[in-house]
A and B are shown apart, each in its own frame.
Chain A
């Protein structure tokens, strides 16, 4: 089990940038970190069960602080293994372009929607486009991709060799 193998490394949570594909998950009572966002796309997601952050220094700071227990369902799985960042394509085109370019250069799917896996120090090392709930037409499910992201993250040398340093000021 790579989770067991992964945990003792002491590496911290990694931000997950994604575009709304967990929007159908059930609601939660406590708002996440999107409550004060100006973007309607982001503020609409403030009650989603995923503990979304807007893009910025906070999620990267949080990613460096946290460690992970194991998972229950998709929203909990995301909350427990990642720091989740939601980005509005229309509000942050330069940021999205940077993420798309990074994934394209790494020969990862780089269309829209975009799901990016980034280390706490801002290296994009894995990603995908649309991820269905279940594997479909050769596309991995979200869970499979997230598991792959965790496995890759556990291998520091692979991350260092195959990743793209993002500019984090936005």
Chain B
């Protein structure tokens, strides 16, 4: 087996053993959310590969939320709006604290989560934090951060 083939096999094996390197896609906001209370209305956001963590190569937007929190619901709504606008340029990571999380998501939780929800992160393509704050945040400052990160 040539060295080139060996490298190719290693690469393919790595990809197969790391399914969570794919970002969440097809994000959908729960249409039954009550934005005026801390009611429990189920997962705020659903999507394919929902357990994905940080994916290098593009900026990542991460939301860490609790289902019974109206601030989280409002931020979830902004998150899906941002996703619809930036889905081709930014990876989105959705971490629901009410369900068990993948090891990749737990890495982000351990590193950044301080106990307040919602928590929003924007990481650059290498995983450096560009935004790391608890609480709701308007879409505009996040979009500005995206644009700067995408310029580089």
Residues of A within 8 A of B (CB): 93, 96-101, 103-105, 107, 109-113, 129-130
Contact = CB atoms under 8 A, between A and B. Distances in A.
B48 to A, nearest CB: 20
Given A105-B109, A129-B68, A130-B68, A111 B98 contact: yes
A109 B106 contact: no
Contacts of A112: 38, 66, 68-69, 117
A103 B117 CA distance: 13
Interface residues of B, number: 23
B107 to A, nearest CB: 11
Contacts of A97: 114-116
Interface string B32-68: 0000001010000000000000000000000011111
* Binding site secondary structure of chain A: helix
Contacts of B116: 93, 97, 100
Listed residue (B66, B72, B99) with the most chain A CB atoms within 10 angstroms of its CB: B66
Contacts of B72: 111
B97 A109 contact: yes
26 contacts: A93-B116, A97-B114, A99-B115, A100-B115, A100-B117, A101-B114, A104-B64, A104-B109, A104-B113, A104-B115, A105-B106, A107-B101, A107-B106, A109-B97, A109-B100, A110-B97, A110-B98, A111-B65, A111-B67, A111-B68, A112-B38, A112-B66, A112-B68, A112-B69, A112-B117, A130-B68
Listed residue (B100, B109, B115, B117) with the most chain A CB atoms within 10 angstroms of its CB: B115
Nearest to A128: B98
Contacts of A100: 66, 97, 115-117
